[in-house]
Amino acid sequence: DQRLRTVQQQQQLQYTNNKELHQQQREKLEQIKEIMEAMKKKQEEQQFQIQEMLESQQNQFTLLKQRPETGGHTQQQKIGVETRTGVSDEDGRNDKPKDDTYKIGNIIGTKDTDGNSEWQVVKRRGSSGTS
């Protein structure tokens, strides 16, 4: 009878220990799940930021690529530089968009890619204004 009690006590003790161990394991598992969720969210945020940066760079590249060919003022000015030889003719033709074109050249750097056509036009305007 005594042995039966000690065996039952041992089983009860082992059951309690197992129950505590299972509870600890469950808590650890919950912590791990929370950490994994946080890491997943962080990774998704980083992926989203990278995607936004790539789209932004792609848009900028597309704009830069299109600017010399299809950009409104720049194309007008480019045609003006290539086809017109008279300075006064060109100045009269590009009178309104000259400021816009100069700003575009400064911000995006189309002066360099256009072979300095905008810079030449600005210089011509300055020299024709003084003479």
pLDDT in tens, 45-82: 999 999 999 999 999 988 888 765 544 554 445 544 44
Residue 122's pLDDT band, with cuts at 50, 70 and 90, is very low
Residue 118's pLDDT band, with cuts at 50, 70 and 90, is very low
> Average per-residue pLDDT in the chain?
72
Q: What is the mean pLDDT of residues 101-126?
A: 47
- pTM, full prediction: 0.37
| pLDDT above 50: residue 34 | yes
Nearest 5 degrees, angle CA 46-CA 107-CA 72? 105
Domain ranges of the chain: 1-70, 71-131
